[in-house]
């Protein structure tokens, strides 16, 4: 049981590092720095040196890359996880549950901009419109971010 679990963690580490290493602007130093952090994030396992060497030496080639092209990872209705290629309306929960990553770690890993969407655009719009429709918009004045207390009638 223990061995099986260890292998899964190792695979996850390997695939994340591979994706990262495939970025054109990722240096070997970047990969190594990330490698030293990932095991702690993914469950405290050390990455075998041989696997690391393999990743670093494969960097100049295009054999490993993010699951989908970064500029194709966001569509109107879905955002695609660059680690595993699955699509979601929002990534946050998936990243935490499947890859043990915070949004910040995920952005850092793939070099994503601050404004790179991790929630499908239509999903955000729908939520905002729904909120407006049921009356939340009325209270969401710019100068009062959260009106917790209900007005007395
Ligand atoms: Zn994923």
pLDDT of 63 higher than 50: no
Please give the distance, rounded to the nearest whole angstrom, from the Cα atom of residue 125 to the centre of ligand 1. 23
- Contact between 19 and 65 under an 8 Å Cβ cutoff? The reply is yes
* 3 state DSSP class of 24: coil
Q: How far is Cα 139 from Cα 132, in angstroms, rounded to an integer?
A: 10
Give the H or E element holding residue 104: helix 103-110
> What percent of the chain lies above the pLDDT cut of 90?
23
Please give the distance, rounded to the nearest whole angstrom, from the Cα atom of residue 83 to the centre of ligand 1. 5
Q: What number is the average pLDDT over the span 47-65?
A: 52
Structure tokens at 59: 């960097």
Please give the model's pTM, rounded to 2 decimal places: 0.47
- Contact between 56 and 32 under an 8 Å Cβ cutoff? The reply is yes
Residues with CB under 5 A from ligand 1 (ion): 81, 83-84, 98
> Residue 107 contacts by C-beta under 8 Å, 6 or more apart in sequence?
113, 114, 116
Please give the distance, rounded to the nearest whole angstrom, from the Cα atom of residue 82 to the centre of ligand 1. 6
Please give the distance, rounded to the nearest whole angstrom, from the Cα atom of residue 128 to the centre of ligand 1. 26
């Amino acid at each position: 049981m223990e061995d099986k679990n260890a292998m899964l963690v190792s695979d996850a580490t390997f695939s994340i590092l591979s994706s990262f290493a495939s970025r054109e602007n990722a240096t070997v130093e970047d990969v190594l720095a990330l490698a030293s952090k990932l095991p702690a994030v993914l469950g405290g396992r050390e990455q075998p040196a041989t696997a690391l060497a393999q990743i670093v030496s494969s960097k100049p080639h295009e054999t490993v890359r993010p699951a989908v092209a970064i500029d194709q990872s966001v569509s109107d209705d879905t955002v695609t996880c660059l680690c595993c290629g699955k699509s979601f309306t929002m990534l946050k929960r998936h990243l935490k549950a499947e890859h043990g990553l915070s949004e910040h770690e995920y952005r850092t890993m793939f070099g994503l901009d601050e404004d790179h969407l991790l929630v499908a655009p239509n999903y955000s719009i729908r939520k905002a419109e729904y909120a407006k429709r049921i009356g939340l918009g009325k209270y969401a004045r710019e100068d009062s971010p959260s009106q917790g207390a209900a007005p007395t009638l």
